[in-house]
Amino acid sequence: MYSRRFQYVRAQSLGDACDMLRRHGDGAKVIAGGQSLLPMVNVGLVTPEVVVDISRVPEARGLARDDGFVVIGALNTHRELMTSELLQADQPLIPAAASHIGNDRVRNRGTLGGSLAHSDPAGELPLVMTAISAMYEVTDGSSTREVKAEEFATSFLTTQLEPDEVVVAARVPVLGPGWGWSFCEMSRRKGDFAVVAAAALVRSAGGALVEARLALGGVADHPVRLGAVEAALAGATYDEIGPRVGAIEGIRPLSDTNASGEYRRHLSRVLAVRALEEAYRRSEEVE
């Protein structure tokens, strides 16, 4: 459980970090909070030659409103997401999801950008970012581009990030009036990875659901946005949510030591309905 030797280098800026990544190639890994990387290094799953520390760069910080959006710097810790009054008011799904991550110690160190770049299929933050249609800003040091959260992950622990790119920020829409939210997760132990997690947003008016956003984590190699279910929900009353969700298509739950694929499929429906119903109730409270 002890790491092999590697070289530690501290980047002075994100541009500096990207240069180092280009110089060292495949053997280089980025570290910010280290809460995903170092457990993998300690158990020997990852054996970097060089670790580039971006935790002290001046960029990728801050959490501020910007014209109907909130821009969240990638170096915000989970604790900062959880306790941000701005997020609690403007996009409460994110603090709710962050509170499910690991334990207090993980949340004190782990960062938004780290969670997104690590891209665990059961990770809470990639899931909520998918549900709320976030955009990620990524940079190679000289040019930046935007990537849709939904398209960021390409496979298990694999993203669209090029080897010399890092995540700078996530841009998330402010939750509008009349919207309710919910984050539901089932894990074997508190703080463990989710077996399945669901994130939902619902807007209701006049006793019926107007529109919904729904994403599931832990049911495929990356979070899945369920557009067909969202479409089927338009116009539903509260009691009709369960029947309209129906059998969830488009997911490929795997079996592992935590749960069978069949049980994950069962949980997907249970948690999706539970999250949609809670989001609906909250949407009526704020109406």
The one segment of 57-65, 148-156, 183-191, 201-209 that binds another protein by CB under 8 A: 183-191
Rg of the chain over CA atoms, in angstroms? Answer: 19
**Interacting residue with another protein among 23, 27, 42, 163 (CB under 8 A):** 42
Coil, strand or helix at 131: helix
CA-CA distance, 51 to 110, in Å (whole number)?
16
Coil, strand or helix at 49: coil
Determine, following the binding rule CB under 8 A, whether residue 51 of this chain makes contact with another protein.
yes
The one segment of 67-75, 106-114, 156-164, 235-243 that binds another protein by CB under 8 A: 106-114
Determine, following the binding rule CB under 8 A, whether residue 235 of this chain makes contact with another protein.
no
Determine, following the binding rule CB under 8 A, whether residue 237 of this chain makes contact with another protein.
no
The one segment of 188-196, 239-247, 250-258, 266-274 that binds another protein by CB under 8 A: 188-196
**Interacting residue with another protein among 109, 148, 265, 266 (CB under 8 A):** 109
Determine, following the binding rule CB under 8 A, whether residue 89 of this chain makes contact with another protein.
no
What percentage of the chain's residues is helix, strand, coil (to nearest 5)?
35, 30, 35
Determine, following the binding rule CB under 8 A, whether residue 34 of this chain makes contact with another protein.
yes
Give ∠ CA 68-234-284 in degrees, rounded to 5: 65
CA-CA distance, 89 to 248, in Å (whole number)?
31
Measured from the CB atom, the residue of 57 and 147 that comes closer to another protein is 57
Determine, following the binding rule CB under 8 A, whether residue 257 of this chain makes contact with another protein.
no
CA-CA distance, 121 to 37, in Å (whole number)?
15
Measured from the CB atom, the residue of 16 and 53 that comes closer to another protein is 53
From 165, 81, 160, 85, select the one nearest 124 (Cα to Cα): 81
The one segment of 29-37, 150-158, 197-205, 264-272 that binds another protein by CB under 8 A: 29-37
Query: Least Å distance between CB 147 and another protein?
Result: 27
- Are residues 131 and 213 in contact, defined by beta-carbon separation less than 8 angstroms? yes
Coil, strand or helix at 164: coil
Helices (H), 102-259: 104-109, 112-118, 124-131, 149-152, 227-233, 241-245
Which residues here bind another protein, judged by CB under 8 A? 1-10, 31, 34-35, 38-39, 42-43, 51, 53, 55, 79, 102-106, 108-109, 189-191
